[in-house]
Chains A and B, each alone.
Chain A
Amino acid sequence: MKITMRFLITGLIGVLSCTLQAATEKPLLMEGKKTLYQRVLSIPDARIYPAPDQSVASTEVTPFSVLYVYAREDDWIRVGHDSYGAIAGWMKDDRAITWNQALTISFKDPQNIQRVMLFNSKKSLQDLVEGYDTDTYQRLYQSVVDGDSGADSPVIAIQPEAHVDIRENFYLVPIKQYEDIFLDNEQARLLEIASVPLEVSKAEEPGPAEPEASPRSYRSGIHFVIDSTSSMGPYIDRTREAVTRVYSAIEKHGLTNQVSFGLTAYRDNLEQVPELEYLTRQYVSLEQGADAEQFLDRVNSLSPAEVSSQDFREDAYAGVMSAIEDTDWTDFDARYVVLITDAGPRESYDALGTTGLSAKALRQLAYDKGISIWVLHLRTPVTAADHKKAESLYKELSLYPGIGDFYYGVNLGQVDEFGNVLEILANQITQQVLATTKGVPPIPLEQDVAIQPPVQPSVQPQLADLQGRVARLGNALRLRYLQRESGEPLPRVFSAWIVDRDFINPGRSSVDVRVLMTRDQLSDLKNVMQQVLELAEEGVLSPQNFLDDLKSLAATVSRDPAAVAGSTSSAGANLAEMGYMREYMEDLPYTGEVMDLTIESWEEWSAKVQIEFMNRLDSKISYYQTLHDHTDLWVTPGGGPVTGSSVFPVSLDLLP
């Protein structure tokens, strides 16, 4: 279990409802700070009580929720979701990690570098770093990846294989402490991080992932979403035929009720062509589709539209969204939506689309419910002009993190090829259910790259590739199911040590160290830096006044003007010492070139170097502004709309 334990990479900001307290109430300040408040992160098992008393009713807190500390009383802390008095309640202080510096990491895409290994102790990693022992490191890495790491291995987990972009999917891997070191000849940092195993975080989520009291069978739900516009008649018929055959196989293996089919048909915008009758219509639910007879009875009434729609695009996203939202997926461990269409979809910007969603947004909606979307794209000659665009969007829609896309293009829309592929894939899912039922163990996640499809791979490379991905997805789902059903206890939270550089190529960083900044802090930083930039611009054109201008500005932007008066008189003072340093940046493990700038160095620089410096500063300000304006990137602790307290992990490299 040790090596298969992956750590949490998921949305983690709490979603507790909270009671708004008096707006004047402020959190406790950090020692020696004037504007920075004490912050903690909740760990799994943390609960919020209305009073410091464990006998009263409490609510669970999402692991790693960011909380402000408003009061301390014995071994209790009073916490809130923001610094404006939104008190959540009381929490035992051993259920929280002190996290004043708000440092976190984001992983680099492991496509071209090795995944980051998490070590169980500082010493075990330090020993490797100090001797720069690449041989031992490589041996450890290989054994972890191969899944044959011994019980005495110092590695307790490894970075997930799939890259998760923190800008798209917010996650927290908080840094508890750090230490500057050299890895070979490169400056690097040892970081102690906290995390929770993936399955713990899933267990915290309400809904279908909750373990049941008694074991139950592994179930797969396959919900077809079929384009039922006028051109689709032959494919609807062939789908019926394919499903009929798969039902026979299911019955033969005694898996009735363990594989279920649903079906939703969709057409297009009714405002443009009312004769289309419906935009989406569910013909069979997964519950009904557990029974072959019911499924076929209901699908018999499905027929293609008798009129043509507006153009060669249809509102496929409406159909997929209906399948995601209007289907009860609760009892299904493996959840698939299979889109069958010969037309491109209507993207978020398409005025005729009804969902307003992009492929990426819709995919996320499905992923949040544990559903993978597959697309069988019938590339008929009639829609040839749209094939490329449609393929690109459908690949985006069907992308499953860590595995790849589940897109299959049926060349020329050949009905036989379509039917064969559908049967092969449905049978493959059935085989996975059968394997689980028979107790065939899944392959550990770290080895699943090499998984081959359990059925004879097709001679068609496209189908073989897809079968490989289906096998890997099925394996991961089975593994998750078995872990959940086994009830094997997992640690609630663990600490580990990593190095922030690629061990083999220390010139490249393996993680970004980030600081969780509030939107208000970023706005302040942007405003101050904008003023510095304006001075620098003037300083490039007319250098003689630059020093005096910087001093004057320091007096207005500093939080401690008295200190500024002293510091600016001393020769060699840098911008940080002159009063430009913001309190929320103090004590962070970074050295930004802007804060390090001295008048002496500025004056020594050539015009070219000054201009390059100015451009870099300008670029950072532009980033702050863009980030600030992108409200979709900000996460609000405790939920709710984006406010000044909403947070985003800003890379230390982007600080001034």
Chain B
Amino acid sequence: MIVVGLILFMFLGVERGFQVTAVTEVVQENNRVEIERSQLIPPGLRAREYIAEVRAGGEPYALANIYEKGLSFQEQGNLADAHLLFFFSAREDYIPAIMKMGEMADPTLFRAEDSLLDQADAIQAYKWYKKAVALGHTPATNGIGNLKQWADEASIMGNPDARQLMLNFE
């Protein structure tokens, strides 16, 4: 059996990653057979490779560029890659990325189509807003205020995240 190294990639945009169609031509005893297989480039792989590149280039990192690339991934619907780049920049104290992380998790702003997460995560949102405030970004206090208002109401309904969050305000 001879496997001819002919692989055709066909990129199809899907919700949270790139769909790749791999076509492998197999020549077997002079009969040409074409086998088509579909697989996913693991969501997040591109972001991880990009982060590795950035790190290899050494600090300081071009955080604005990384964030922009994250936005670009988000627009294309590649939410895992977007999330990883926002997360990377946020860990490096880049304010727009911190706010993005907060807003993506904020139950008062949550949009499933923009977020890798299936549902809002108030504890995460609070963590990122708090970090932004600690870095001197005062508009993040609005986010905290909104979260408090949400938690006030949701805790009465027994929401465990809201109850946990309320401990921070008591």
A611 proximity list for chain B (CB < 8 A): 80, 83, 87, 116-117
Contact for A540 among B84, B124, B158, CB less than 8 A: B84
Is B168 on the interface with A (CB-CB < 8 A)? Answer: yes
B43 proximity list for chain A (CB < 8 A): 606-608
Q: Are B167 and A618 in contact (CB under 8 A)?
A: no
B167 proximity list for chain A (CB < 8 A): 623, 626-627, 630
Contact for A541 among B87, B117, B161, CB less than 8 A: B87
Is B139 on the interface with A (CB-CB < 8 A)? Answer: no
A348 to chain B, nearest CB (A): 11
| Given A611-B116, A626-B168, A606-B48 contact (CB < 8 Å) | no
Is B88 on the interface with A (CB-CB < 8 A)? Answer: yes
Is A622 on the interface with B (CB-CB < 8 A)? Answer: yes
B33 to chain A, nearest CB (A): 31
A169 to chain B, nearest CB (A): 15
| Given A542-B52, A630-B170, A622-B164 contact (CB < 8 Å) | yes
Q: Are A540 and B87 in contact (CB under 8 A)?
A: yes
Per the bound structure, the CA–CA distance linking A608 and B112 in Å amounts to 14
Is A543 on the interface with B (CB-CB < 8 A)? Answer: yes
Contact for B51 among A109, A542, A612, CB less than 8 A: A542
Per the bound structure, the CA–CA distance linking A541 and B43 in Å amounts to 12
B44 proximity list for chain A (CB < 8 A): 606-608
Contact for A607 among B84, B123, B127, CB less than 8 A: B84
- A532-562: CB near B (< 8 Å → 1, else 0) gives 0000010011110000000000000000000
Per the bound structure, the CA–CA distance linking A615 and B168 in Å amounts to 18
Is A411 on the interface with B (CB-CB < 8 A)? Answer: no
Is B16 on the interface with A (CB-CB < 8 A)? Answer: yes
Question: Quick one: which of B116-163 are within 8 Å of A by CB?
Answer: 116-117, 121, 123-124, 126-127, 158, 161
| Given A541-B87, A622-B164, A109-B158 contact (CB < 8 Å) | yes
B158 proximity list for chain A (CB < 8 A): 109
Q: Are A619 and B164 in contact (CB under 8 A)?
A: yes
Contact for A626 among B47, B116, B164, CB less than 8 A: B164
B55 proximity list for chain A (CB < 8 A): 542
B80 proximity list for chain A (CB < 8 A): 606-608, 611
Count: A-B pairs, CB below 8 Å: 63
Contact for A542 among B16, B48, B117, CB less than 8 A: B48
Q: Are A618 and B124 in contact (CB under 8 A)?
A: yes
Which applies to chain A's interface (DSSP): helix, strand, loop or mixed? helix
Per the bound structure, the CA–CA distance linking A619 and B47 in Å amounts to 25
B121 proximity list for chain A (CB < 8 A): 615, 619
B107 to chain A, nearest CB (A): 14
Is B13 on the interface with A (CB-CB < 8 A)? Answer: no
Q: Are B48 and A543 in contact (CB under 8 A)?
A: yes
A607 proximity list for chain B (CB < 8 A): 42-44, 47-48, 80, 83-84, 116
A623 proximity list for chain B (CB < 8 A): 164, 167
B161 proximity list for chain A (CB < 8 A): 619
> Nearest A residue to B160 by beta-carbon distance?
A653
A276 to chain B, nearest CB (A): 33
Contact for A618 among B83, B127, B168, CB less than 8 A: B127
B55 to chain A, nearest CB (A): 8
A77 to chain B, nearest CB (A): 37
Most buried by B among A540, A542, A607: A607
Per the bound structure, the CA–CA distance linking A630 and B124 in Å amounts to 20
Question: Quick one: which of A614-639 are within 8 Å of B by CB?
Answer: 615, 618-619, 622-623, 626-627, 630
B168 proximity list for chain A (CB < 8 A): 626
Question: Quick one: which of A570-599 are within 8 Å of B by CB?
Answer: none
B86 to chain A, nearest CB (A): 11
A109 proximity list for chain B (CB < 8 A): 158
> Nearest B residue to A358 by beta-carbon distance?
B170
A184 to chain B, nearest CB (A): 23
Q: Are B48 and A541 in contact (CB under 8 A)?
A: yes
A540 proximity list for chain B (CB < 8 A): 84, 87
Per the bound structure, the CA–CA distance linking A618 and B124 in Å amounts to 8
Q: Are B164 and A541 in contact (CB under 8 A)?
A: no
- B83-111: CB near A (< 8 Å → 1, else 0) gives 11001100100000000000000000000
Most buried by A among B42, B158, B167, B170: B167
Per the bound structure, the CA–CA distance linking A607 and B80 in Å amounts to 7
Q: Are A622 and B127 in contact (CB under 8 A)?
A: yes
A469 to chain B, nearest CB (A): 21
Q: Are B116 and A608 in contact (CB under 8 A)?
A: yes
Per the bound structure, the CA–CA distance linking A619 and B105 in Å amounts to 13
Per the bound structure, the CA–CA distance linking A626 and B47 in Å amounts to 33
A606 proximity list for chain B (CB < 8 A): 42-44, 80
A111 to chain B, nearest CB (A): 9
> Nearest B residue to A626 by beta-carbon distance?
B167
B127 proximity list for chain A (CB < 8 A): 618, 622
B27 to chain A, nearest CB (A): 34
15 A-B pairs in the complex with CB atoms less than 8 angstroms apart: A537-B87, A541-B84, A542-B55, A606-B44, A607-B44, A607-B47, A607-B48, A608-B44, A612-B117, A615-B117, A615-B123, A619-B123, A622-B126, A622-B164, A626-B167
- Please name 18 further chain A to chain B contacts, defined as beta carbons within 8 Å, in addition to the given A611-B80, A627-B167, sorted by A numbering: A540-B84, A541-B48, A541-B87, A542-B48, A542-B55, A607-B48, A608-B43, A608-B44, A608-B80, A612-B117, A615-B117, A615-B121, A619-B124, A626-B164, A626-B167, A626-B168, A630-B167, A630-B170
The 7 closest A-B CB pairs, nearest first, are: A607-B44, A619-B123, A607-B80, A626-B167, A541-B51, A623-B164, A615-B124
Interface of A toward B, CB cutoff 8 Å: 109, 537, 540-543, 606-608, 611-612, 615, 618-619, 622-623, 626-627, 630
